[in-house]
Amino acid sequence: MKITSAYANKLLKSLADEKSYWEAQEASSRTYVAAVGEEPVIPKYDYSAVSETLKEIDRKAVIIKHALNLANATAKIMVGDTEMSVDSILVRMAQLSSRKATLDTMRKYLPKMRESSHAFSSRNAVPEYRYTNYDPELVKRDYECISGKIMEMQIALDRYNQTFLFEADI
């Protein structure tokens, strides 16, 4: 069947929900407690049927994930003026997001900040200051540039996820 990445992810979520349901059913039905001399209330449970259901869910998930991984590794999409595979976009976005987080911290620092220290309990203690050792305007520009690149990649991925069809034999 032909599916998009967005639909594949919805199928995988549905399969995960279904698997969770059957695992919970199995957990609550595979054993029962009865007092001595009491007529036991035995829950309906068919190990073979539940086991086969779980195997079928896993089989479908493997097929969908494999097809999705193949599509992500082989399909090329344009990000700005650069052609990239989906998997390389995902790796690059993670790298850029990590750098963006660092730059976000750096852009929030004041040029000079008082350091708090337990040594200030003494009346003769000399205050210490932390100074930035970089150009805040350069950090701000790099932060904005990286934010723009991440957004450009995300938009390209969103378009791809909604429109690119690939085969998954489920």
Q: What is the rounded CA–CA span in Å between residue 60 and residue 169? A: 9
Strands (E), the chain: 2-4, 76-79, 82-85, 112-114, 129-131, 165-167
Is residue 92 within 8 Å of 106, Cβ to Cβ?
no
Q: Do residues 66 and 96 share a domain?
A: no
Q: Bridge partners of 106?
A: none
Q: Does residue 145 share a domain with residue 94?
A: yes
The answer to the question of residue 157 being in a domain is yes
The answer as to whether 115 is a domain residue is yes
27 with 92, same domain? Answer: no
In this structure, the answer to whether residues 114 and 138 fall within a common structural domain is yes
Q: Along the 170 residues of the chain, how does pLDDT read in single tens digits?
A: 999 999 999 999 999 999 999 999 999 999 999 999 999 999 999 999 999 999 999 999 999 999 999 999 999 999 999 999 999 999 999 999 999 999 999 999 999 999 876 655 666 678 899 999 999 999 999 999 999 999 999 999 999 999 999 999 98
Residue range(s) defining the domain that contains residue 140: 77-165
Nearest alpha carbon to residue 73 among 63, 65, 82: 65
Count structural domains, the chain.
Answer: 2
pTM to 2 decimal places: 0.79
Q: Kindly report the CA angle at 77 between 61 and 163, in degrees rounded to 5? A: 55
